Amino acid sequence: MKGDRNNKRSRKIALFLSSFKLLSSWQGTLTVIGVVFSIFLVGLTCFFGIDRSKDSTQLVAFSQGSDAYYERLDEVRDEYDAEEKEFSELIITSTFTIMQTNIDGFTYDDMSKDRMSEVADLMLDEAEHEDGSITYTEKGEEAVKESLADYFKDVDSSLSNATCERMANDVYQYVEDYLEFTQQSEEDDGNICLSTGNTQATIFLNMSTDEYIATMGPIAQADYSRNGIFASVTLAQSIIESGWGKSGLTQQANNMFGIKCSSNWTGECINMETGEYGSGGYYTTDANFRKYPSIEDSVNDHSLFLKENPRYPAAGVFDATTFQEQIRAIHSAGYATDPNYSSTIINTIEAYDLDVWDVPTNVSSDLCYTGEGQWTIRTVAPTSSDVAFTRKSSNRGQCVWYAQARAYEVVLELASNGTITEEQATSIGNKLFSIYGDGGEWVERSSGTFRTSTNINDLQAGALISWTEPGEAGHLAFVEEVTADSVTITEGWATSGSSCPSNWSCINFNIKTMSLDEFYSSYGPYYTGNYDFSGYIFPLEG
């Protein structure tokens, strides 16, 4: 089984590159998390996408090509281990990715065992001694880049020198993006939680299947909670249609599903070659595809495509009670022409147990901090006996004072039930109370201290939500809970309109539960009057 082989590989991986600026601080990280490389075809635009499909024999061939690639890489690694020569598999797989993207027709078969060895050799300097022995020394980053640029030119002489130099730099950029991802994974105690609202496709390039699923899982689950498309269906479709996030279209446009531009599309477009199926069989053509700011935007737009096109609701897509029913309804409504499309998606879900994400709990998923089952939702105004609200006395009763203290109160509860450590609680509390400013300024003022997002779809429990009003102080509230159907927000302000320095009874308190549709269509974007959505702050992430 592929998973067994990948696990074996992860135990054997030894990344050296200790002299490389880029990788010197990351070797322990990659060893801890067990890096499993699962590169799929990058030059491919997409598999199924909207209004087109590929047959199952092509999918089998694709999978076999990936398997054969890693078998060859295993052989190279074993040979180098036997000779006590070390190299970076990250560099090799990123080099392969770059060549697929920049060299027409470059496939898995073209990345032969000899080519892998050639790339591995570029990372080492040989030194022969008087006794005939040979030792190998790792080259520095710049030296490897120079060697890679020359190598690219040898592989395809039509490439300009400037292009080859850019490709060599891109190899390291792809590695760096991946390593930034793995560092965050380790800092989060091994939990991969990147449902940030601004995820970029470059992190997928060197990801294993497990890492891809752990990254996309919270995003798909959040979308399931908002839009009703089973997370497992979203995950499986993204896997098939984007080649595990590595297709050319996904990498260049954050487009996970091959959705094309249409007359009602107001965003950016990108023109790419694509495979189509017609009466005469498969053929290639150019088409304009949607370009998204982030992966989250692509996932959300995919669900909106299904919700807003009447043929999908009419087919029972949103009445389905299982992922099998839903993908069959999507297929029958005309999503893809391949007769095996439904079974391909179902088989993918079952092969990777993707249905574990089909739980419409909190939008941010159980891999991240959530309100459900982890803290008690506040339903009454705070009093002087609520310790979190006594930490700061200035501007007592104002919206910032309430939201700031409420977030800290949740932090203290998380520490008391063992969800986070006392040290983490202290750190988060100190950061929270180091931020000053009106409610409308908090996204800007928090940047650099906490993660922030200006994407309204990045809703999750535990976030502070900010609105701005021209010439006014704006507003700040706390998101208590997000479920499959609703969101609950609490907020506070002073009766007098200023503050309540000694009179706790002047604190106004409001708890509001609304449907997700209401939140996204009115309350979230506008709040009230001239208050416009500014963004989220995520203090619970530390």
Q: How far apart are CA 509 and CA 379, in angstroms?
A: 9
Chain centroid offset of residue 518 CA:
26
Q: What CATH number does domain 387-541 carry, 3.30.200, 3.90.1720, 3.60.21, 3.60.40?
A: 3.90.1720
Assess contact for 245 and 256: CB atoms under 8 A.
Answer: yes
Q: Calculate the average pLDDT of the chain.
A: 78
At 121 the pLDDT is 92
Q: How far apart are CA 93 and CA 37, in angstroms?
A: 8
pLDDT over threshold 90, residue 146: yes
Assess contact for 291 and 270: CB atoms under 8 A.
Answer: yes
Nearest by Cα to 469 from 528, 518, 520, 522: 528
At 444 the pLDDT is 92
pLDDT over threshold 90, residue 149: yes
SS3 2: helix
Per the rule left: phi > 0, alpha: psi between -120 and 50, beta: everything else, 229 is beta
Region of poorest pLDDT, from 247-251, 357-361, 364-368: 364-368
Q: How far apart are CA 434 and CA 392, in angstroms?
A: 11
Q: How far apart are CA 100 and CA 127, in angstroms?
A: 33
Q: How far apart are CA 132 and CA 135, in angstroms?
A: 10
Q: Which two tokens stand for residue 278?
A: 């017609």
CATH T-level fold of 201-357:
Lysozyme (1.10.530)
pTM of the model: 0.49
Q: Is 517 exposed, middle or buried (0-12, 13-18, 19+ CB in 10 A)?
A: exposed
**Helix, strand, coil % in the chain, rounded to nearest 5:** 45, 15, 40
Q: Which two tokens stand for residue 170?
A: 């891109």
Q: Which two tokens stand for residue 176?
A: 């760096």
What is the per-residue DSSP string for 23-81? TTTTHHHHHHHT-------SS---SS-TT----HHHHHHHHHHHHHHHHHHHHHHHHHH
Q: Which two tokens stand for residue 150?
A: 């020359």
Which has the higher per-residue pLDDT, 285 or 238? 238
Q: How far apart are CA 311 and CA 215, in angstroms?
A: 31
Domains in the chain: boundaries? 2-39+54-187, 201-357, 387-541
Number of Cβ within 10 Å of residue 514's Cβ equals 16
At 409 the pLDDT is 92
Q: What's the start-to-end Cα distance of the chain, in Å?
A: 38
At 105 the pLDDT is 80
pLDDT over threshold 60, residue 11: no
Assess contact for 250 and 256: CB atoms under 8 A.
Answer: yes
Q: What single-letter DSSP state applies at residue 319?
A: G
Per the rule left: phi > 0, alpha: psi between -120 and 50, beta: everything else, 140 is beta
Pairing of strands 451-453, 532-538: antiparallel
Q: What single-letter DSSP state applies at residue 462?
A: T
**How large is the average pLDDT for residues 185-206?**
58
Q: Is 412 exposed, middle or buried (0-12, 13-18, 19+ CB in 10 A)?
A: middle
Region of poorest pLDDT, from 72-76, 121-125, 336-340: 336-340
Q: How far apart are CA 119 and CA 96, in angstroms?
A: 9
At 273 the pLDDT is 76
SS3 170: helix
Q: Which two tokens stand for residue 200?
A: 């970029």
Per the rule left: phi > 0, alpha: psi between -120 and 50, beta: everything else, 418 is left
Element (H, E) at 234: helix 231-242
Q: How far apart are CA 253 and CA 402, in angstroms?
A: 40
pLDDT over threshold 50, residue 15: no
- Give, in degrees to the nearest 5, the angle at Cα 309 between 305 and 311: 130
Q: How far apart are CA 81 and CA 167, in angstroms?
A: 28
SS3 467: strand
At 279 the pLDDT is 65
Number of Cβ within 10 Å of residue 355's Cβ equals 18
At 26 the pLDDT is 31
Region of poorest pLDDT, from 264-278, 341-355, 388-402: 264-278
Measured in degrees and rounded to the nearest 5, phi and psi for residue 92 equal -65, -50
At 432 the pLDDT is 94
Q: Which long-range contacts (CB under 8 A, 24 or more apart) does 393-398 make?
A: 393/501, 394/499, 395/499, 396/494, 396/499, 396/500, 396/501, 396/504, 396/507, 397/492, 397/493, 397/494, 397/495, 397/496, 397/499, 397/500, 397/506, 397/507, 397/508, 398/492, 398/493, 398/494, 398/498, 398/499
**How large is the average pLDDT for residues 436-451?**
91
At 147 the pLDDT is 93
At 53 the pLDDT is 36
Q: How far apart are CA 516 and CA 307, in angstroms?
A: 15
The alpha carbons of the chain give a radius of gyration, in whole angstroms, of 26
Q: How far apart are CA 153 and CA 234, in angstroms?
A: 40
Residues 6+ apart with CB under 8 A from 261: 269, 288, 289, 290
